[in-house]
Chains A and B, each alone.
Chain A
Amino acid sequence: MSKDNHHCFHCHLPIPGTPPFHADVDGIQQPMCCPGCKAVTEAIIAGGLNSYYQHRTDPGLQAGSITRRLQEELLIYDRDEIQNDFVIAVDSSLKQASLLIEGITCAACIWLLESHISTLTGVDRVSVNLSTHEAQVVWNPEQIPLSTLLLHIHRIGYKAHPWRADRQEALLKEENRRFIRRLALAGIGTMQVMMYAIALYSGAITNDMSDAYRDFIRYISALVATPVILYSAAPFFKAALRDLRVRHLSMDVPVSIAIGGAYIASLWATINGSGEVYFDSVSMFTFFLLMGRYLELRARHATSRAARALQNLLPSSCLKLVDGEYVRVPAQELQKNDFVRVLPGDSVPADGIITCGSSRFDESMLTGENRPVAHQGGDIVIGGSLNVENAIELKVTQTGAETRMSAIMQLLNHARHDKPAIARMADRVAVWFVASVLIVATTVYWYWSAAAAEDAFWITLSVLVVTCPCALSLATPTALTAATGHLHQLGFLITKGHVLEGLEKITHVVFDKTGTLTRGNIELSEVRMVSQSHSESDVIQIAAALEAHSEHPIAKAFQTTTSTLSVQTVKTYTAQGVEGVIDGNVYRIGKPDFCLPDNSPARPEGTGQWLLLSQNHTALCWFRMMDDSLRQEACEVVSQLQNRGITVTLLSGDQTNVVATVAEELNINHWQAQASPDDKLEFIRQQQQRGERVLMVGDGINDVPVLAGADISLAMGTASDLAKTSADAVLLSNDLSRLLDAWQLARKTRSVIRQNLTWSLLYNLSALPLAAAGLIAPWMAAIGMALSSLIVVGNALRLGGQQKNSRVPVSECSEPPSVYNPAIRI
């Protein structure tokens, strides 16, 4: 299953250069991109679960490494007051926990999780649901604490969050079950009634069936069709009544008229022993329509579940001072005037004042500024910002609803409130369709009651049955469901229903810069040697060893190389650099006047940040750090959009010169730098007032109100959870070119919907005169209706993606599969 030496065996992410890690899989050294993936692969192999790699159809997610902090956080889950939310006692010794597992990509994951967890001592049973990603674990807390269980799940490369099956979830489940019951009853009932109908038709054609048999079979048909109407078709009648009460015509109205009318007329014919019966058509209507509705429901559930799966349920924890010691507690427990210790790499749990220490903070999710801001003792730091350098202590001043972050949330709710709604095409068709059907039916009845009074009622009924908009109401939901599923496979997750319909009408695309058009990180682009005592790979090794102890964004650039050197006595100096001792030599990396305070050399020419590395106060080399490289597909995507006549704007909170460079590289003429969230929202409002329809692509919390204000919003897969849950769609694969795919598919979906509507209208219009002339027998109506529905569904299925074939080795794929976590396959 290994692709080649340039892709990680576990997660298939490309590895530039030689693979830094290897793991032994079935005697072959497979390339690994990071220690996390290596650990996961080794855990899977050690557990004897190798067949995961043979059976999986999607790569695993890139694994994070298990830190001490994670272990401490998981320990919080052993507390009873936390467990109350998601754990129930099964009996005196066993408990059952509901978990939501993150990182499930295909069926092999389910097997891997179940096999691995069930072998642990103290675990009684475990079952994982592939559709909803919920896991139910029954375990004995005496033998194994829950935190250990969760740690084991992390160890094989997944994340487990406590999952409270809230009321909404229970409702979804109940709704799903009710639908399956209705569908089954309608399906089985239809089959039965069709059998009796065949007998009736053949009797009617050969004309040799005695009335006793005919009436008996009609009664039996009525008996079977009645529960189908009363139970399965109930939602249509309810919806039609609701719509009529608010004086609104929807698809449910003609459907209910046809089903109800035909059923009552057939019942009347059965009792009187005259006329025609339509029990088969009525049951079939119900079955086909329910089929369409069920597809719609699955898509709706999947998107709402996907939206909720994105909400990270981990209670963020922090270190609080209790009786002179720092203890890890859930962040919600914080009170005003508590003292908290924030380690480098942690986010600040609440607004507060620094009482001890100084550090730099990444406030990009609030301000969009992606360079860390330095704060000393006495400064106010904002909850939600990320501490990137040193441990600090702070006194909490604001918690919960009073923090700056909550203010942003309120802005978001305000923006979301007045989102432009896009009406559904089928419902617009429905209004005049219903009206015309009713007019035609009345006219037909009036004409025939003058010509042949005894036939008038039956001919009118056949008109209603023939024009029942079965195909018409299947046209839109089937197409939307197929397209949504296809996009999901591509890593473009739609969480709100109007995206596919609205995407076509977009005239203006607004991009955020950091993390959207760019990768949002700093990279090492050049090494310029000063002394010849070391080779280039040596100095990179030294720098990586030193920077491994820093949380500064620059340090991340060195994380791709792993150093075998061990460093003693490391000190990080805020806004200066790092000092450490390797093999008795003192090394410093950072600003030139920090490394060589006495005679710092002049910076080399060239843009970017230059870091100096010194050994015992002699300069070794310069590292050129380049900000934020563009995503490789960004240029292509922007020019493609512009070719389609769409205005592209770059809005960023970053500094002017940086934004200008990016805009120039991408040929974006409209750009605005140092824009606050309010500025961005204002800009979008202005565009909308000019009649533009705006698509916003962004990440980070500062974009959230802006995302909500746009007609359609798209969040990157790396975006903050809040941004993802408030966006209309999420780019799970982080590949901007998927936006173009989505665009194309939206166009195709629209044309398929058009074709479907046209076809079903054509069918109805051509059948109508025949029915009005009294030429349509019940069996013809049934066949016509079934065929037209099947054609519509078949046409919609063309939008579905290629079904992945698990038997095709991945090496035959032309491009590396994108790594993402599909929440639910539809």
Chain B
Amino acid sequence: MESLFILIPLAVLFIALAIRLFFWAVDSGQFDDLEGPAHSILYEDKTIKPETDTCQSSGKKKPLES
């Protein structure tokens, strides 16, 4: 039973990480539209565009998430 003294704090640490992750997701705008994405999986995407993206470079905040 002594293992509880290790395991429970570990669990708390994981929870803290999970909450951090969730906050990050909210702040990056993933919860702004709670309806659209649910339907979007139903549509087949025939139009595959070549990646001509100049602002996908790392470290740059994508304006679509603003």
Interface residues of A (CB under 8 A from B): 48, 51, 55, 88, 90-91, 93-94, 96, 107-108, 110-111, 115, 118-119, 124-125, 127-132, 136, 138, 173, 176-177, 180-181, 184-185, 188-189, 192, 196, 213, 216-217, 220, 223-224, 825
Residues of chain B with a CB closer than 8 A to A188's CB: 15, 18-19, 22
Q: CB within 8 Å of A: which of B5-64?
A: 5, 8-9, 11-12, 15, 18-19, 22-23, 26-27, 31-36, 38-40, 42-47, 49, 52-55, 63-64
A94 with B12: in contact, given A115-B47, A129-B32, A216-B4 (CB under 8 Å)?
no
Question: Can you report 20 A-B residue pairs in the complex whose CB atoms are below 8 A from each other?
Answer: A51-B43, A55-B39, A91-B55, A93-B54, A96-B63, A110-B36, A111-B39, A111-B40, A111-B43, A115-B46, A125-B53, A130-B36, A138-B63, A181-B26, A184-B26, A188-B22, A192-B12, A216-B5, A224-B12, A825-B35
B35 near A217 with CB under 8 A, answer no
Q: How far is the CB of A749 from chain B (nearest CB, A)?
A: 24
Chain B residues near A91: list those with CB within 8 A. 54-55
Task: Report yes or no: A177 in contact with B27, Cβ–Cβ below 8 A.
Answer: yes
* Minimum distance in angstroms from B42 CB to a CB of chain A: 6
**Closest A-B pairs by Cβ, 7 of them:** A107-B39, A130-B36, A129-B33, A111-B43, A130-B35, A131-B33, A184-B22
Q: Is the CB of B1 within 8 A of A213?
A: yes
Q: How far is the CB of B13 from chain A (nearest CB, A)?
A: 11
Question: Are the CB atoms of B35 and A131 closer together than 8 Å?
Answer: yes
**CA of A130 to CA of B53, assembled, Å:** 25
Tell me the nearest residue of chain A to B46, going by C-beta: A48
Whether A130 contacts B33 by the Cβ 8 Å rule is yes
CA distance A184 to B34 in the complex (A): 15
Which residues on A sit within 8 Å (CB–CB) of B31?
176-177, 180
B residues less than 8 Å from A48 (CB atoms): 46
Asked whether, in the complex, the Cβ of B26 is within 8 Å of the Cβ of A177, the reply is: yes
Give complex CA distance A111, B38 in Å. Answer: 12
Distance between B22 CB and nearest chain A CB, rounded to angstroms: 5
How far, in whole Å, are A125 and B36 apart by their CA atoms in the complex?
17
A131 touches B32 (CB 8 A): yes
In the assembled complex, which residues on chain B have CB atoms less than 8 Å from the CB atom of A173?
A: 32
A127–B32 CA distance with the chains assembled, in angstroms: 12
Q: Are B64 and A138 in contact (CB under 8 A)?
A: yes
Q: Nearest Cβ in chain A — how far from B17, in angstroms?
A: 11
Q: Please measure, in the bound complex, the distance between the C-alpha atom of A180 and the C-alpha atom of B28, giving whole angstroms.
A: 13
Q: Which residues of B contact A (CB under 8 A)?
A: 1, 4-5, 8-9, 11-12, 15, 18-19, 22-23, 26-27, 31-36, 38-40, 42-47, 49, 52-55, 63-64
Q: In the complex, which residues of chain B have a beta carbon less than 8 angstroms from the beta carbon of A128?
A: 36
B64 touches A88 (CB 8 A): no
CB within 8 Å: A-B pair count: 101
Partner of B8, one of A108, A181, A217: A217
Please measure, in the bound complex, the distance between the C-alpha atom of A223 and the C-alpha atom of B16, giving whole angstroms: 11
Q: Are B64 and A127 in contact, with the CB atoms below 8 A?
A: yes
Q: Does A107 contact B5, Cβ atoms closer than 8 Å?
A: no
Chain A residues with CB under 8 Å of B54's CB are 91, 93-94
How far apart sit A91 and B56, CA to CA, in the bound complex (Å)?
11
User: How many angstroms from the CA of A181 to the CA of B27 in the assembled complex?
Assistant: 9
The residues of B that contact A217 with a CB separation of less than 8 Å are 8
Q: Find chain A residues with CB under 8 A from B44 CB.
A: 51
- Determine whether the beta carbon of A110 is less than 8 Å from that of B63: no
Q: How far is the CA of A370 from the CA of B47 in the complex (A)?
A: 50
Distance in Å from the Cβ of A554 to the closest Cβ of chain B?
A: 44
Rounded to whole Å, the gap between the CB of A98 and the closest CB of chain B is: 9
Contact yes or no, A181 B23, CB < 8 A: yes
Task: Look across to chain A and name the residue whose beta carbon is closest to the beta carbon of B42.
Answer: A55
Shortest CB-to-CB span from B61 to chain A, Å, is 11
In the complex, which residues of chain A have a beta carbon less than 8 angstroms from the beta carbon of B39?
55, 107-108, 110-111, 130
Contact of A110 among B9, B22, B40, B45 (CB under 8 A): B40
CB distance from B51 to the nearest CB of A (A): 10
Q: Is the CB of A131 within 8 A of B36?
A: yes
A220 partner residues in chain B, CB cutoff 8 A: 8-9, 12
Pick the contact of A90 from B43, B45, B55 — CB < 8 Å? Answer: B55
Asked whether A88 lies within 8 Å of B8 as measured between CB atoms, the reply is: no
Let me know if A119 and B40 touch, CB within 8 A: no
Q: In the bound complex, how far is the Cα of B8 from the Cα of A224, in angstroms?
A: 11
Complex Cα gap A136–B11 (Å): 40
> Do A118 and B47 touch (CB < 8 A)?
yes
Chain B residues with CB under 8 Å of A196's CB are 8
Q: Which residue of B lies closest to A825 (CB)?
A: B35
CA A456 – CA B17 in complex, angstroms?
40
What is the CB-to-nearest-CB distance from A54 to chain B, in angstroms, rounded to a whole number?
10
B15: which of A110, A130, A192 is its contact (CB, 8 Å)?
A: A192
Q: Is the CB of B18 within 8 A of A107?
A: no
In whole angstroms, what is the CA distance A185 to B21 when docked?
A: 11
A130-B35, A220-B12 known; A118 vs B43 contact (CB < 8 Å): no
**Quick check: A129 and B55 within 8 Å, CB to CB?**
no
Is the pair A185, B19 in contact by a Cβ cutoff of 8 Å? yes
Residues of A within 8 A of B32 (CB): 129, 131-132, 173, 176-177
Query: What are the residues of chain B within 8 A of A88 when measuring CB–CB?
Result: 63
- Residues in B neighbouring A51, C-beta threshold 8 A: 43-44
A181 contact set on B, CB distance < 8 A: 22-23, 26
A131→B22 CA distance, assembly (Å): 21
- Hey, which chain B residues are within 8 Å of A189, CB to CB? 15
Q: Are B19 and A184 in contact (CB under 8 A)?
A: yes
Cβ contact of A180, chosen from B8, B12, B26, cutoff 8 A: B26
CA distance A181 to B49 in the complex (A): 35
Knowing that A176-B32, A213-B4, A220-B9 touch, tell me 9 more A-B residue pairs with CB under 8 angstroms.
Answer: A51-B43, A90-B63, A107-B38, A115-B47, A130-B35, A131-B36, A177-B27, A181-B22, A220-B12
> Within 8 Å CB of B52, what residues of A?
124
| Residues of chain A lying within 8 A (CB to CB) of residue B49 | 118-119
Bound complex: CA A615 to CA B52 (Å) = 64
Instruction: Give the residues in chain B near A223, CB-CB below 8 Å.
Output: 12
Q: In whole angstroms, what is the CA distance A177 to B23 when docked?
A: 9
Please measure, in the bound complex, the distance between the C-alpha atom of A48 and the C-alpha atom of B44, giving whole angstroms.
Answer: 12
Nearest Cβ in chain A — how far from B30, in angstroms?
A: 10
Chain A residues, CB < 8 A from B53: 124-125
Given A130-B33, A138-B63, A223-B12, does the pair A94, B55 have CB atoms closer than 8 Å? Answer: yes
Contacts of B43 in A (CB 8 A): 51, 55, 108, 111, 115
- Residues on the A chain within 8 Å of B26, using CB: 177, 180-181, 184
Cα–Cα, bound, A223→B38 (Å): 36
Residues of B contacting A94 in the complex (Cβ-Cβ under 8 angstroms): 54-55
A136 and B40 CA atoms in complex are apart in Å by 17
Q: Distance in Å from the Cβ of A803 to the closest Cβ of chain B?
A: 13
Q: In the docked arrangement, what's the CA distance between A131 and B63, Å?
A: 19
